[in-house]
Amino acid sequence: MAHILVVDDEESISNLIVMNLSMVGHTSNQAFNGLEALNIIKTEHFDLCLLDIMLPGKDGYALLDDFKNVGIPVIFLTAKDSLTDRVKGLNLGAEDYIVKPFETLELLARIEVILRRNGKHKHNFKYKDIEVRFPEHMVLKNNQPIELTAQEFSLLEILIQNRNLALTREKLLEIGWGYDYVGETRTVDMHIQRLRKKLDWDDVIKTVYKYGYRLEVQ
């Protein structure tokens, strides 16, 4: 997965982001002011930076060129929510602009988009005897192909991207089937059952009681 720098002067928010990044397999480092961030990128390579704008020492707008000069894409993650600020951040060259407070799943999804756009995303996922090749929409078990429907593959991809996070049935419907999908959450249960059977993942796709599901991997 990716190595991500989190630059935010609010320690509690930074720690929460780092925890969630770790749960889905990313590694990270933290900086709590602009000057600290500058020192870190001189000695360490990152695939992406989550950058606050209102920082002591040097603000996010001023830092953006420093990150661009060393080839680190930036997502602004800030409480500055005006249209003017959004337009300014994107015009300066940020890959994305996310306003606090944010949903963890949305942040992780946008991170995936930026990593893929910049060629930083690993295109395969392996766990035990299962290999998932995302660009080819292919799943292998012991190097033998497993037939999944398009919807099953989409659901599997969502679970993998958010692995070790509990996802509600409603959230899986929203992401996997689209906002306009009209149906009961039983649809999710049926697809989960099929995935478990095809992948032999009864002990990997966990049921979270009265909530939803979690793909549990080390």
> What is the Cα–Cα distance from 104 to 62, expressed in whole angstroms?
26
Question: Which pLDDT tens digits describe the chain residue by residue (218 residues)?
Answer: 789 999 999 999 999 999 999 988 899 999 999 999 999 999 999 999 999 999 999 999 999 999 999 999 999 999 999 999 999 999 999 999 999 999 998 999 899 889 988 877 667 899 999 999 988 899 999 999 999 999 999 999 999 989 999 999 888 888 888 765 666 778 899 999 999 999 999 999 999 998 999 999 97
* Total residues found in the chain within this entry: 218
Contacts of 26 (CB under 8 A, 6+ apart): 1, 2, 3, 4, 111
Angle between helices 104-117 and 169-177 (to 10 degrees): 30
**Cα 43 to Cα 19, 34, 39, 40, 66, distances in angstroms:** 23, 15, 7, 6, 13
pLDDT of residue 181: 61
Q: Which residue's entry shows tokens 């929203």?
A: 174
**pLDDT of res. 119:** 77
Contact 175, 158 (CB under 8 A): yes
Helix (H, G, I), strand (E, B) or coil at 99: strand
What domains does the chain contain, in order, with CATH numbers?
3-117 (3.40.50.2300), 124-215 (1.10.10.10)
- Where residue 175 falls (left for φ over 0; alpha for ψ -120 to 50; beta otherwise) is alpha
